[in-house]
Amino acid sequence: MAAGVTGRLFRGREIVDRLARQSPARLAVTVFGAVVALFTALLLAPWATASGRSASFVDALFTATSAVCVTGLVVVPTGTYWSTYGQVVILIGIKVGGLGIMTLASILGMAVSRRIGLTQKLLTASETKTTRLGEVGSLVRVVIITSTALELLIALLLFPRFLVLEETVGEAAWHGIFYGISAFNNAGFVPTPEGLTPYVGDWMLCLPIILGVFIGSLGFPVILNVLRTRRRVSRLSLHTKITLTMSAALVGIGTLLYGAVEWGNQKTIAGLPFDEKILASLFAGVMPRSGGFSTVDTAGMHEASWLLTDALMFVGGGSASTAGGIKVTTLAVMLLAIVAEARGDRDMDVYGRRIPRDTLRLAVAVTFVGASAVLLASLLLLEITGESLDVVLFETISAFATVGLSTGITPTLPDAGKYVLVVLMFVGRTGTMTFAAALALRDRRRIVRYPEERPIIG
């Protein structure tokens, strides 16, 4: 019987290896779905809730998906509905989702065999968008060392502040660790019942969270490249330069525009002192990167702020990061194509490098698939809920981009609406193109190419 079990395990491993080589994206989506199912089962236990009664299936599934997909949208209050066990499960789900299921598989492979095999490299390359398999080993080490170090640093910065806020040592430590992991992984979950609203002007509490969200949104390849070059700007890769430039630009634009729109809004920041208005504007400018935290009532914002936030959320953060969205490099490539076309240039040049045309094609595809997912989900929610378009659009983009900001309608959605957001969060986290590739049956290689003819554009 032992031989039979061993044989089945061996055949199972052969299947996984073959699938990893042929379609690592498909395997990534499958494993990610299995992990969501596992955490759903853990949250269905009666002891996962503070009341001792089992959560409904849809609420457990929604929370598990939101945690593993590091989104932060909730249908029940995290700090009061879930027990300590339930909150620990959510925190582990955030950590697993942030590292990436395929990266975690490589870490386990290293622990067992002291090296990374080809299968693990292919899996991790799919998750982290690393094109050179030789880099995966270094990237995995950077992922676990950097993420853990930064999470602990944020926790250590927040710990004394929570103590000053008259929390016990245990509560301060728990809240510091929870916020540290949630911030760096751009999850947006809050363990405190009142959230961050009471601390809108608290620099010592908000600034570490802002830094954690911003660094986490850059992406592990960028962190790896920065550490390797030791801050020598000329040696940074093109991807790193574009990600850093676009990230800083979007944060700056978001901060300035949000401050300008909300400066006189009595429902948000109008009643705050000048320095607290600056902090609230900076906080709101960073969080659409995929952070999902909020220090003001999102429902009280002007519609112009909602529209601005929609745009920033849809773009999201850096590739292979804990952030969602279509990614800043996608936006950068499309902007560079527009500039090149306006100038009459044949090539897209930036920082002394030429971007291949197939990169533009991929950027257009990613944007179109993402916009189509948001459009379809918005249509479904409009029919299901009867809410206005601005509210529904905000919620769907937040789910797709795994941000977690909400106007407040998510907890009141009917079950059908919650399932729509569950699918949207899953698609947004696994990646639009990864998800599409996972569904593709085979690669189509064409032998015959048709004659070229240009249609009229515009």
**Cβ proximity of 63 and 74 under 8 Å:** yes
Nearest to 323 by CA among 185, 209, 434, 147: 185
Looking at per-residue pLDDT, the higher value among 382 and 319 belongs to 382
pLDDT tens-place string over residues 287-303: 998 899 999 999 999 99
Task: Check: CB of residue 217 under 8 Å from CB of residue 290.
Answer: yes
pLDDT (0 to 100) of residue 187 = 92
- Average pLDDT for 392-416: 94
Both structure tokens of 190: 């809050």
Region 195-221 average pLDDT = 91
- What's the pLDDT score for residue 57? 96
Write down the mean pLDDT value for the chain: 84
Sequential DSSP letters for 368-394: HHHHHHHHHHHHHHHHHH---HHHHHH
- The structure tokens 């990374």 sit at 116
327 touches 241 (CB < 8 A):
no
C-alpha 365 chain-centroid distance = 19
Q: What is the pTM of this model?
A: 0.88
Q: What is the pLDDT of residues 34-87, one digit of tens each?
A: 999 999 999 999 999 999 999 999 999 999 999 999 999 999 999 899 999 999
Q: Tell me, rounded to whole angstroms, the distance of Cα 81 from its chain centroid.
A: 24
> Both tokens of residue 349?
């040049």
Categorize the per-residue pLDDT at 450 as very low, low, confident or very high, splitting at 50, 70 and 90: confident
Pairwise pLDDT comparison (4 vs 181), residue with the higher score:
181
Domain ranges of the chain: 9-439
For the stretch 57-61, contacts whose Cβ atoms lie closer than 8 Å and that sit 24 or more positions apart, written own/partner, are 58/415, 58/418, 58/419, 59/418, 61/36, 61/422
Mean per-residue pLDDT, 436-451: 61
Check if the beta carbon of residue 181 is closer than 8 Å to that of residue 170.
Answer: no
Output the pLDDT for position 161: 93
Mean pLDDT in residue range 363-375:
92
What is the percentage of the chain residues whose pLDDT exceeds 70? 82
In the prediction, which pLDDT does 111 show?
Answer: 47
Give the alpha-carbon dihedral of 211, 216, 217, 221, to 10 degrees. Answer: 130
Q: Which residues contact 269 (CB under 8 A, 6 or more apart)?
A: 200, 259, 262, 263, 276, 277, 280, 281, 296
What pLDDT is recorded for position 192?
Answer: 84
What whole-number distance in Å separates Cα of residue 281 and Cα of residue 292? 14
Which ranges in 217-273 belong to alpha helices (H)? 220-229, 238-262
The confidence score (pLDDT) of residue 282 equals 96
Q: Check residue 441 and give its pLDDT.
A: 43
Both tokens of 384, joined, read 């299901």
Transcribe 136-202 into DSSP letters: HHHHHHHHHHHHHHHHHHHHHHHHHHHHHTT--HHHHHHHHHHHHHHHHTT-----STTTTGGGTT-
Mean per-residue pLDDT for 131-136? 55
What's the pLDDT score for residue 128?
A: 59
Q: Give percent of the chain with pLDDT exceeding 90.
A: 57
For the chain, give the number of residues.
458
Interval 94-126: pLDDT, tens? 998 888 755 654 544 544 444 455 555 555 565
